[in-house]
């Protein structure tokens, strides 16, 4: 059995597969070791409903070739609930101060979107960490607390009453825990056409299928070169370069480093049933951050996804008259959120790369980290 490779990629999620595809296009030799193919990209058995990442935007230029767009997502088809459980639509903003704040926020979001798109283009060449550091506008946002930034721009009332619900659904975190950068990034669907989607995992994985070994990496020896990788099966490999493409927790654990990111945990039910009248009028129901249930979303096939912070926190009977459980899934963790203003570099040390969610946990940005790592391993 072959045990040495120029490059070994650990993990076959979006970042790992992106890196592998980029390397194979360059004619490089490598091995991918992963406990599964797809990572957090999970779908219903009929592949109609996504269980993990829920939406894409038209700015996902690297990911778009691998997806089929579904329904357009709009705040006009959502209800936002306050702490007492009263629902409001975006139309209830009316006129006056909140409308002025909403218009001001959209203008600020469009400005952020321009900088963010430029940063993504640079990240494929320089990495996210360097691209953000070199953009003074984004760098300042990355180190500024969201609440302070909102007060500075006089839009905190509108954000707390409406936008925070959508942010909470996406990040499972309150505004108190986020930077201005994260707030604006998570708000981009309000100014960027966004869609439900189905992901063609086979299109991304098939070109590198023969290079994938299903196994779990238990340890890495980075003290001597070539580096040594040990697996749960007992197999042992050596590599000149290692690309760690796992979630933040396992990645930093393999490197014996403290994880600077905070894990986000979630529980999901996929249901078929009849909603109670209160929850029948819109596709999306975004609950208050005090509610352990996070959101209820009607799917294109007439089924529903119900998300919460834990299984114990979700009371299905509160939202449904009758139902059947199609599937349920516990993400522990679902993803990680940056809780500091320190950016994570891709290159840990010479020949050791960390790619994926560490700075920005989106499908597009994870994909870009794989492209960048491949460009360093095999410059063209």
Model confidence at 94: pLDDT above 70: no
Residue 192 vs residue 168, higher pLDDT: 192
Residue at 67 is within a domain:
no
The predicted-structure confidence for 242-284, as pLDDT tens digits, reads as follows 999 998 888 989 999 877 666 677 889 999 999 999 999 888 9
Per-state percent for the chain, helix, strand, coil, to nearest 5: 40, 30, 35
Q: DSSP string spanning 339-374?
A: -SSPPPPSEEETTEEE-SSSS--SHHHHHHHHHHHH
Residue at 26 is within a domain:
yes
Structure confidence at residue 106 (pLDDT): 93
Structure confidence at residue 263 (pLDDT): 66
Least confident of 6-15, 70-79, 210-219, 267-276: 70-79
Residue at 359 is within a domain:
yes
Give the whole-angstrom CA distance, residue 181 versus residue 58: 20
- How many domains, the chain? 1
The predicted-structure confidence for 50-84, as pLDDT tens digits, reads as follows 887 889 999 999 999 999 999 998 877 888 888 88
Where helices occur in 161-294 by DSSP H, the ranges are 164-171, 180-187, 201-205, 248-254
Average of per-residue pLDDT across 30-58: 89
Range of the domain at 243: 4-44+199-261+340-377
Give the whole-angstrom CA distance, residue 245 versus residue 250: 9
Structure confidence at residue 148 (pLDDT): 94
Give the distance from CA 12 to its chain's centroid.
15
Question: Which helix (DSSP H) or strand (DSSP E) does residue 297 occupy?
Answer: strand 293-298
Output the CA–CA distances (angstroms, integers) from residue 353 to 251, 272, 293, 346, 373, in the order listed.
10, 43, 37, 5, 7
Structure confidence at residue 290 (pLDDT): 86
- Token pair belonging to 162: 């409406």
Residue at 335 is within a domain:
no
Structure confidence at residue 240 (pLDDT): 97
Residue at 39 is within a domain:
yes
Nearest CA-CA partner of 34 in 229, 198, 226: 229
- Count the alpha carbons within 13 Å of 2 in the hemisphere toward its beta carbon: 10
What 232-236 contacts at long range (C-beta under 8 Å, 24+ apart), as own/partner pairs, is 235/1, 235/3, 236/3
Count CB neighbours of 35 within 10 A: 16
- Give the strands of the sheet with 284-286, arranged side by side: 87-88, 78-81, 284-286, 293-298, 304-308, 261-275, 320-338
Residue at 256 is within a domain:
yes
Structure confidence at residue 168 (pLDDT): 81
Output the CA–CA distances (angstroms, integers) from residue 14 to 162, 266, 359, in the order listed.
31, 20, 15
Model confidence at 166: pLDDT above 80: no
Model confidence at 23: pLDDT above 80: yes
Least confident of 8-22, 158-172, 291-305: 158-172
Structure confidence at residue 122 (pLDDT): 97
Average of per-residue pLDDT across 21-32: 97
Average of per-residue pLDDT across 276-302: 91
The CATH number of whichever domain residue 248 belongs to comes to 3.50.50.60
Place 18 in a pLDDT band, splitting at 50, 70 and 90.
very high
* Cβ–Cβ under 8 Å, residues 188 and 113: yes
- Count the alpha carbons within 13 Å of 320 in the hemisphere toward its beta carbon: 21
Structure confidence at residue 149 (pLDDT): 95
- Give the strands of the sheet with 67-73, arranged side by side: 56-57, 194-199, 67-73
Output the CA–CA distances (angstroms, integers) from residue 148 to 98, 152, 156, 169, 337, in the order listed.
18, 6, 9, 21, 19
Residue at 285 is within a domain:
no
Phi, psi of 372, deg, nearest 5: -65, -50
Structure confidence at residue 338 (pLDDT): 58
Tokens 């009607």, residue located:
298
Share of the chain above pLDDT 90, in %: 64
Residue at 152 is within a domain:
no
Model confidence at 5: pLDDT above 90: yes
Structure confidence at residue 77 (pLDDT): 85
Model confidence at 28: pLDDT above 80: yes
Give the distance from CA 125 to its chain's centroid.
21
* Cβ–Cβ under 8 Å, residues 115 and 138: yes
The predicted-structure confidence for 334-345, as pLDDT tens digits, reads as follows 566 655 678 888
Tokens 């704040």, residue located:
101
Average of per-residue pLDDT across 327-340: 71
Q: What's the chain's average pLDDT?
A: 90
- Mean pLDDT is highest, among 7-11, 39-43, 267-271, for 7-11
């Amino acid at each position: 059995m072959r045990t040495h490779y120029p490059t070994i990629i650990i993990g076959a999620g979006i970042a790992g597969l992106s890196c592998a595809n980029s390397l194979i296009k360059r004619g490089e030799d490598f091995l991918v070791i992963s406990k599964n193919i797809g990572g957090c990209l999970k779908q219903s058995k009929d592949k109609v409903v996504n269980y993990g990442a829920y939406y894409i935007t038209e700015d996902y230029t690297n990911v778009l070739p691998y997806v089929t767009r579904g329904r357009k997502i709009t705040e006009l088809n959502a209800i936002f609930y306050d702490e007492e459980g009263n629902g409001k639509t975006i139309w209830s903003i009316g006129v006056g101060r909140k409308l002025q704040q909403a218009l001001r926020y959209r203008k600020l979001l469009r400005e952020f979107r321009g900088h963010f798109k430029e940063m993504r283009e640079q990240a494929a060449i320089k990495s996210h960490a360097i691209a953000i550091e070199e953009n003074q506008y984004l760098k300042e946002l990355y180190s500024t607390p969201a609440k302070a930034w909102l007060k500075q721009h006089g839009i905190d009332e509108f954000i707390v009453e409406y936008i925070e619900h959508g942010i909470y659904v996406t990040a499972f975190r309150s505004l108190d825990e986020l930077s201005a950068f994260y707030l604006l990034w998570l708000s981009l669907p309000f100014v960027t056409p966004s869609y439900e989607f189905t992901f063609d995992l086979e299109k991304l994985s098939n070109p590198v299928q023969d290079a994938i070994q299903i196994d779990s990496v238990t340890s890495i020896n980075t003290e001597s070169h070539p580096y040594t990788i040990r697996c749960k099966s007992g197999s042992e490999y050596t590599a000149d370069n290692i690309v760690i493409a796992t979630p933040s927790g396992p990645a930093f654990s393999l490197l014996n480093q403290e994880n600077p990111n905070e894990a986000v945990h979630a529980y999901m039910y996929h249901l078929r049933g009849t909603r109670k009248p209160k929850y029948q009028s819109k596709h999306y129901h975004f609950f208050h951050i005090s509610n352990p249930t996070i959101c209820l979303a009607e799917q294109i096939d007439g089924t529903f996804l119900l998300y919460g912070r834990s299984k114990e926190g979700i009371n299905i009977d509160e939202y449904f008259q009758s139902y059947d459980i199609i599937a349920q899934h516990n993400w522990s963790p679902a993803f990680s959120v940056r809780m500091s203003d320190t950016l994570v570099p891709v290159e840990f040390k010479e020949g050791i790369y960390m790619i994926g969610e560490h700075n920005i946990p989106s499908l597009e940005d994870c994909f870009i980290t794989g492209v960048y790592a491949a460009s360093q391993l095999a410059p063209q």
